[in-house]
Structure 1
Amino acid sequence: MSGLGPVAWPPAPMRTERLVLREFEARDRAAVLGWFAGVLPGEPVVLCTQTANDYSMRLAAKLGFTEVERFEEWGAEQWFGVWSPVTPSG
């Protein structure tokens, strides 16, 4: 593994229709949101999860996501939220 060299963080932006975050700690997710706000200022981040997923619902609230809508899909209630970076006024 010594031949891998240094790894830059954050990684280069991914060119994809959507970004799926998995297996990150809460502090890592907050860091990713901060990084995202710096790379794409003003762009919102969206999140969709089942309302029955208590952990995801609590994490979304903790990270500052706000509810846009709830809807039924895959036989369960889904939650759709958005996070936008805080922009200084003035």
Structure 2
Amino acid sequence: MAFLELFASPEVGVLEWPAGVLPDEPVVLTTQSGDARSLRRAERLGFTEVGRFEAYGSERWFGVRPGVSVTGPGRASWS
């Protein structure tokens, strides 16, 4: 069930787009540091914390996901 949930989520489709357009480029993400649900989802999607900073009156989490190597038409594998 977790497998279906992950691939049914819209985030996966959004994260596959850079594989064809900007292969090997990292994807970055920010969210509020206090948003535990968003932080868990970011980690599940392969993001790792790079740092934290203040913005919009709260501490923000900054993460990066490594670039993707395209392995064939419609296929991608994350580095």
Q: Secondary structure at the match of 2:67?
A: coil
Q: Could you tell me whether the CA contact under 8 Å between 2:25 and 2:68 is conserved in 1? A: no
Q: Which amino acid aligns with 2:38?
A: S
Higher normalized strand content (fraction of residues): 2
Q: More helix by proportion, 1 or 2?
A: 2
Structure 1 match to 2:13: 31
Deviations 1:49-77 (A, max 9, x none): 10111221111001000111011222211
Q: Which residue of 2 aligns with 1:45?
A: 27
Match 1:66 to one of 42, 45, 48: 48
Instruction: Give the conservation status (yes or no) of the 8 Å contact 1:26–1:59.
Output: no
Kindly tell me the number of residue pairs found equivalent between the two proteins. Answer: 64
Task: Output the TM-score relative to the length of structure 2.
Answer: 0.66
Q: 3-state DSSP class of the match of 2:9?
A: helix
Decide whether the 8 Å contact of 2:29 with 2:63 is kept in 1. Answer: yes
1:8-48 Cα deviation digits (max 9, x unpaired)? xxxxxxxxxxxxxxxxx972211221222122101111111
TM-score, structure 1 as length reference = 0.59
Gaps of 5+ in 2: 1-6, 70-76
CA distance in 1, matches of 2:32, 2:8: 18
Superposed CA RMSD in Å reads 2.2
What is the aligned partner in structure 1 of residue 3 from structure 2? none
